[in-house]
Amino acid sequence: MKTSNWSIIKVRVIIESTDRQQSWTTIGVSTDIIEASWLALKDAVEVNLMKI
């Protein structure tokens, strides 16, 4: 059975974070919802650490 590239579904996870002074949004995109969530969460933590 052949599949086309059109049948691949990507999930986008958006995380809104705050440190009580600033807020930011990060996005993770993947064909796997767990991976998309991890990417968004990892980026949110990295953004917060870069501010220190």
Task: Output the average pLDDT for the chain.
Answer: 92
2 falls within a domain: no
3 falls within a domain: no
pLDDT band at 3 (very low <50, low <70, confident <90, very high): low
38 falls within a domain: yes
Task: Count structural domains, the chain.
Answer: 1
Q: Is the pLDDT of residue 52 over 90?
A: no
Q: Is the pLDDT of residue 43 over 70?
A: yes
> What does the pLDDT look like over 4-28, one tens digit per residue?
667 789 999 999 999 999 999 999 9
Query: What is the rounded distance in angstroms from the CA atom of residue 16 to the CA atom of residue 2?
Result: 39
pLDDT band at 1 (very low <50, low <70, confident <90, very high): low
Break the chain down into helix, strand, coil percent, rounded to 5: 40, 30, 30
16 falls within a domain: yes
Query: What is the rounded distance in angstroms from the CA atom of residue 30 to the CA atom of residue 43?
Result: 14
- How much is the pTM? 0.81
The residue whose two tokens read 């993770």 is 28
